[in-house]
Chains A and B, each alone.
Chain A
Amino acid sequence: MFRRQVASLSRLQHLQMSTNAAPAPTSTSASSGEAISEFRTAVTNPGEHSSLHVAKFYTIPVEQKKKIFGGGGLPKQYEQQIKTFQEACLMVRSPALELLHYIQNADLSKPAVRYVVYGANGVGKTLTMAHVLHYGSLNDFMLVHVPWVPNWMKRPKEAANSSTQEGFIDLPFDAAAWLVHFKTQNLKLLQQLDLKTSKEYVWSKRESTPAGSTLLELVEHGIARIKYASETTAALISEIKQLSNAGKCKTMVVIDGFNAFFHPETRIFSENKQRVTPDRITLTQPFLDITSYDWTNGICILSVDKIAMTEGYMASHMPRYLLGKEGFEHLDPFIPVHVENYTEKEFYNYISYYLDRRWINKTPPGFEEQLKFMSNKNPYELMQLVKSL
């Protein structure tokens, strides 16, 4: 009772923070007929999440998790946690809700809106994007999802000289892996929708993909012929852009670590033993194309991350610094979405989740205060601290 009063008071005080002050949804959990803990919610559809569910956990069903995040998308340590806890739980947090709110109310006939997720290290940018990705997958968005761009720039599987563009470098294996990821995420949509290529793509003397073949055929060709995977990616992305423009599908572009495309240099060496800049890599151009504003029926959610950069370029986590002049101008105008450390309520809910999973075994009085002090309510720090308890 007292809590409810306090909640309503604080709601009056700062309207923006109303998400934090929502009373516990006792009515919803009672109606679903299950005994659900206070920190969980039974609503598994991200589209239905509202400020009522802030700081609560929802579970991603196993098949959906496998489909969406099978090829990456969740941080490695979070995957480990999911495996140990045997459930894929995500916390509903206000940045993700903010994004979902924007997306639900966006007018898709207008040029694509770019959202830039930013924040300090370990605050949950990737998981925020995972939440949105789940929404996109459930709401028939064609997903163009790059789990972590720096993987291409920092440790590619293989780098080869491009056969079509002089002086450019192909990443055939990474491109093929991305195509597989794209296929698993969008298999249902690719089969359902009538998506045809607009022109003929000639790969070599004998191989070509005729105009009017389905996108699925294009993707499968890229996977089968790894040599042409990079070019197939470029072709696929331009096709998706055209199809979205024509209104045949709606597209959600989710790219984590987007600023790696604008890093001054990569760790890939060219023929003359010099480091290549990201714009000399064939994979860069298509993803820059699809994040520009000259198309419709699309949403771009990009994250800028400090650890996507290398040493010497990690002074700040702000978009302007990380993207550089060129990148900032490429994205301008965009909507910034700031992800922050846990709020008080989120922090205590996370602790009770850990207690529920029996992950914290030491509970002398005041242990939450100690954890709060040590972790500064930073999600990643908290995860690290709690591991050995």
Chain B
Amino acid sequence: MSWSKNISINTWRCGRLMSMYPQHYVDPIYKMEDQCSKRTELLRLSHIPIKGALNNSSDTIFNGEIKQKMVNYITKNGEGFLSRKLMAQTLEMIKRTQLEGSYISPGYNKTETDAESLLIQAVENCRPLLQLSSIKRGGVKYHVPIPLTNKKSYFLAMKWLLDASREKDRKVSLPEKLAWEILDAAHGHGRVIKKKEELSRQCESNRAYAHYRWS
């Protein structure tokens, strides 16, 4: 009965039923570019176990990091197919508005038509640096500015963009509104940028409480 004993030992060791990689496994490098640039590192990796690549990480022209994140945030009820479609429509709409009339204008080659780089630009423009969090000191709650991690600030930027575009008339489609928000934000104006500026202003005015973070 050695095999049953083996199984029981394994389940006991895992602690949880979900599959999990041991800590010494490293992330896969799935992009061809990175594989080329990290050639020296690859040699080192040749004897280290590597995690399997996620099934949405592919090295194609259709894939982008920020785009992928945005798609994940759009998704409701696990309908990934729908959200990918919505994202594609958004990018298409951005391209169409950018191209409209640009063929005849003298600055033909100057308008940015790459929708994904506009999306990235918009997200970068919307990223906050600080956030207010309420901390209780001496029975009083203070709104204390605290710095954000990179990941969190990207999350907030994309969430704000999405929230702004979900606040719309029923007749307007999400891609349409999202495209407008992204274009606005990429050019440095619009509601999301205002929201970010408002937050940073509040942080600025509450700077006196900053020390409550650690004292």
Contacts and interface: CB of A to CB of B under 8 A. Distances in A.
Interface of A: 84-86, 357-359, 361-362, 364, 367, 370-371, 385, 387-389
Contacts of A364: 61
A362 B60 CA distance: 10
B96 interface: yes
B99 interface: yes
Contacts of B113: 358-359, 361
Interface residues of B, number: 21
A84 B102 CA distance: 10
Contacts of A371: 61
Interface string B86-121: 011101100110011111100000000111110000
A388 B62 contact: yes
Interface of B: 60-62, 87-89, 91-92, 95-96, 99-104, 113-117
Contacts of A86: 101, 103-104
A388 B118 CA distance: 12
A362 B61 contact: yes
B114 A362 contact: yes
Contacts of A367: 61
A296 to B, nearest CB: 46
26 contacts: A84-B96, A84-B99, A85-B103, A86-B101, A86-B103, A357-B103, A358-B113, A359-B95, A361-B113, A361-B114, A361-B117, A362-B114, A364-B61, A367-B61, A370-B60, A371-B61, A385-B62, A387-B88, A387-B91, A387-B92, A387-B95, A388-B62, A388-B87, A388-B88, A388-B92, A388-B115
A353 to B, nearest CB: 13
A84 B62 contact: no
B103 A370 contact: no
Contacts of A359: 95, 99, 113
B115 A84 contact: no
Contact of A388 (B91, B100, B102, B103): B91
